[in-house]
Amino acid sequence: MSSLPFFHLIQDDLQRAETLLQEPAPDQHLAITGAVQHLLGSGGKRLRPALVFLSSHICQADLTLATFAAAGVEMLHTATLVHDDLIDGSLMRRGTETLNARWSPAATVLTGDYLFARAAYWVARTGNVRLVQRFAETLMVICNGEIRQMFDSRSDQGIRIPTFEEYEQRIYAKTASLIALSAEAGAILAHTDEATIDALRTYGESLGLAFQVVDDVLDFIADERTLGKPVGSDLRQGLITLPVLLFLEGNGDHPALRSILTSSFTNERLQEAVRVIGNSPAIERSLQIARDYVRKAKEALRGFPFSPYQTALMDLADFVVQRQF
Amino acid sequence: MSSLPFFHLIQDDLQRAETLLQEPAPDQHLAITGAVQHLLGSGGKRLRPALVFLSSHICQADLTLATFAAAGVEMLHTATLVHDDLIDGSLMRRGTETLNARWSPAATVLTGDYLFARAAYWVARTGNVRLVQRFAETLMVICNGEIRQMFDSRSDQGIRIPTFEEYEQRIYAKTASLIALSAEAGAILAHTDEATIDALRTYGESLGLAFQVVDDVLDFIADERTLGKPVGSDLRQGLITLPVLLFLEGNGDHPALRSILTSSFTNERLQEAVRVIGNSPAIERSLQIARDYVRKAKEALRGFPFSPYQTALMDLADFVVQRQF
């Protein structure tokens, strides 16, 4: 993302957030400091901090407070990934080992908890109660969504196929809710009127939905090296994403997919299903839906006066559907 | 605890907090609502909410805000127990099944995360930034302490014996930090002077240390039915608590204890070690240390004018070392 044309606008801001993220708390155990370095050092696009800073510039929020908020949302994101990877048994992310690949489940759970606390700490440092409240609500939405997915995605007959609305609700909880919070953070910090907060929130929510749809598409068409994790991970875990949903509309009886839906499949069957879906029109149809979200995101910005930061948010929305990683 | 003489003073307050704790968030999955009912329904002394209310009455804080804070600290306490029991593999607490005894590790991790978020939400509802910040810092202290315990308690030779200072640091992180936060919450909510906040915090910290020492003693001398979990749990997990520490001073070469410290022991050896320590002077010496903490806690209250609430805090301190459960 650092190669994007608007990146220089917030380069110094992102650097400040990075320094804050790496800063150990007083008395912090060295194992945690090492884990934070490992987790943050493995890359990541810093999409959420970028949104906090761009919206803070647009709304003229205090940049010191914005830095606290940026560190908070990125740390919350990192904490959720730590527990997610543990739960999914994922060993690789962004091309490097996950924490649970190195540590016991117990140490991984506790480190994730610590990172939640650290995230709450940074957000509280903004001194903005409304932002703290939105932060807590967002974490509730994220966890609630994962619990829903865990309890409702299987029936006695195997994997339950969600409706489009259920899929959208899931990716809202998983991804769009925190991206929406990041985008509205600048307006909340600047105490703008409600319409401005709403507009930036709508932008972030639509951007987040687009982002997750593209993620779900990449799981079928990217190569493992670019992706930093095995292709087809979602389907392997029985997660029905948009490409599968759309593919099933016309091909409900495809044998490779059938065997996956009844939860008894070989690795060969999985590879076949991934290949078949990746070469089907479901991919282009999914990307079309992502582009619709992006259009909605950009529409939400129309009320803002023209500025380099507004342009940057527009460009960022386009980037989300063009990215290959 | 509801049989204590001062209990009627805060009975209505505690009932309001209870109602709030049970209230499901909008859209909350039924599995979570069920888990919350199970976890809160299994009893618990509600020591932390009681402290929030007593300190709120003393400092004349707004009782609606106090109710949010009380729900927040109790929910945080519950969340930490959910992850603790998972990590320790404990199947019983307060005489009922733990969440991890019923659910998968994945569902247990996520439910704990949700409860952290819910706790942060209730604390944020106080609208008091300082309290939110102290809340986040306390969760960091708790997790950091557990990670320290996990990484530093064993060496190649087996279990490492902590110094008294290390033991005290551990029980501060585990128990006293949140009890201190509960006790100072009323003063923070009422925006009192710093001396008042400090006094209530010192009271809570000393009370919390006493509480945990008594807990550690009960693990040797209580019976399983009163305790609601197996006796000797700590030692079984290789946790060196104060009674063991003091016993070791004069009996470093006791064969039953030796075998436990080198991590190779039978259930018989464990029972023997529990019996020997439970009948040793280390128990009375531990209780003496707990009583010293209680004295310190009560001293911290000397500056407050006489009132039923001040008396209640004094009585609560005495209760902590007299309790059998």
CB distance B139 to B73 below 8 Å? no
Q: Does the CB of A87 have a partner CB in chain B at under 8 Å?
A: yes
- Taking the C-alpha atoms of residue B238 and residue B220, their distance in angstroms, rounded to an integer, is 14
Separation in Å, CA of B117 to nearest CA in chain A:
5
The answer to whether the Cβ–Cβ distance between A127 and B129 falls below 8 Å is: yes
CA atoms within 13 A on the CB side of A237: 17
* Per-residue tokens: A16: 């400040």
Report the pLDDT value the prediction gives residue B325, as an integer from 0 to 100.
65
To test the contact with chain A by mutation, choose from B28, B132, B142 the residue with the greatest count of A C-beta atoms within 10 A, namely: B132
Report the pLDDT value the prediction gives residue B254, as an integer from 0 to 100.
87
The radius of gyration of chain A from alpha carbons, rounded to an integer in Å, stands at 20
Domain ranges for chain B, please list them: 7-322
The answer to whether the Cβ–Cβ distance between A147 and B111 falls below 8 Å is: yes
- Taking the C-alpha atoms of residue A63 and residue B106, their distance in angstroms, rounded to an integer, is 38
Q: Tell me the CA distances in angstroms from B224 to B228, B232, B325, one per residue in order.
A: 6, 9, 10
The answer to whether the Cβ–Cβ distance between A125 and B144 falls below 8 Å is: no
Report the pLDDT value the prediction gives residue B252, as an integer from 0 to 100.
80
Report the pLDDT value the prediction gives residue B259, as an integer from 0 to 100.
83
The pTM of the full predicted model, rounded to 2 decimals, is: 0.95
Give me the residues of chain B with pLDDT under 50, please: none
Report the pLDDT value the prediction gives residue B315, as an integer from 0 to 100.
95
To test the contact with chain A by mutation, choose from B144, B153, B178, B181 the residue with the greatest count of A C-beta atoms within 10 A, namely: B144
Report the pLDDT value the prediction gives residue A325, as an integer from 0 to 100.
65
Report the pLDDT value the prediction gives residue A5, as an integer from 0 to 100.
76
- Taking the C-alpha atoms of residue B54 and residue B34, their distance in angstroms, rounded to an integer, is 30
| Residues contacting B252, CB < 8 A, separation 6+ | none
Helix-helix angle A129-152:A164-171, to 10 degrees: 140
Interface of A with B in 46-85 (CB under 8 A): 83
ipTM for this model? 0.94
| Residues contacting B139, CB < 8 A, separation 6+ | A113, A116, A117, A120, B76, B116
Q: Does the CB of B148 have a partner CB in chain A at under 8 Å?
A: yes
CB distance B319 to B51 below 8 Å? no
CA dihedral over B10, B12, B14, B17, signed as positive or negative: negative
Place of tokens 């209870």: B18
Other residues' Cβ atoms within 10 Å of the Cβ of residue A222: 18
* Per-residue tokens: A222: 């990217």
Closest CA to B155 of B89, B238, B216: B238
In CATH, the architecture of B7-322 is Orthogonal Bundle (1.10)
Q: Does the CB of B151 have a partner CB in chain A at under 8 Å?
A: yes
Cβ-based contacts of A27 with chain B (< 8 Å): 141, 144
Kindly provide the b/e burial profile for residues A132-168, where b requires at least 16 CB atoms within 10 angstroms of the residue's own CB: bbbbbbbbbbbbbbbbbbbeebeeeeebeebeeebbb
DSSP conformation letters of B115-166: HHHHHHHHHHTTT-HHHHHHHHHHHHHHHHHHHHHHHHSEETTEEPPPPHHH
Q: Tell me the CA distances in angstroms from A180 to A132, A153, A201, one per residue in order.
A: 14, 25, 5
- Taking the C-alpha atoms of residue A41 and residue A96, their distance in angstroms, rounded to an integer, is 10
Query: What's the whole-number average pLDDT of chain B?
Result: 93
- Taking the C-alpha atoms of residue A183 and residue A56, their distance in angstroms, rounded to an integer, is 9
* Per-residue tokens: B201: 């915090």
pLDDT tens, N- to C-terminus, chain A (325 residues): 767 778 889 999 999 999 999 999 999 999 999 999 999 998 788 999 999 999 999 999 999 999 999 999 999 999 999 999 999 898 988 888 999 999 999 999 999 999 999 999 999 999 999 999 999 999 999 999 999 999 998 887 788 999 999 999 999 999 999 999 999 999 999 999 999 999 999 999 999 999 999 999 999 998 877 777 778 989 988 899 999 999 999 888 888 888 888 877 888 889 999 999 999 999 999 999 999 999 999 999 999 999 999 999 999 999 999 977 6
The answer to whether the Cβ–Cβ distance between B117 and A106 falls below 8 Å is: no
Report the pLDDT value the prediction gives residue A264, as an integer from 0 to 100.
76
Report the pLDDT value the prediction gives residue A275, as an integer from 0 to 100.
94
To test the contact with chain B by mutation, choose from A113, A114, A126 the residue with the greatest count of B C-beta atoms within 10 A, namely: A113
- Taking the C-alpha atoms of residue B290 and residue B206, their distance in angstroms, rounded to an integer, is 9
Cβ-based contacts of A120 with chain B (< 8 Å): 120, 132, 135-136, 139
CATH superfamily ID and name for A5-322: Farnesyl Diphosphate Synthase (1.10.600.10)
- What are the residue ranges of helices labelled H in chain B? 11-22, 30-41, 47-59, 63-88, 99-102, 105-124, 129-152, 164-171, 177-189, 194-221, 224-227, 233-236, 242-251, 255-261, 267-278, 281-299, 308-322
To test the contact with chain B by mutation, choose from A77, A116, A118, A165 the residue with the greatest count of B C-beta atoms within 10 A, namely: A116
Cβ-based contacts of A121 with chain B (< 8 Å): 133, 136-137, 140
* Per-residue tokens: A134: 């939105």
What's the distance, Cα to Cα, between the start and end of chain B in Å? 10
Q: Does the CB of B28 have a partner CB in chain A at under 8 Å?
A: yes
Residue A155 host element (H or E):
strand A154-155
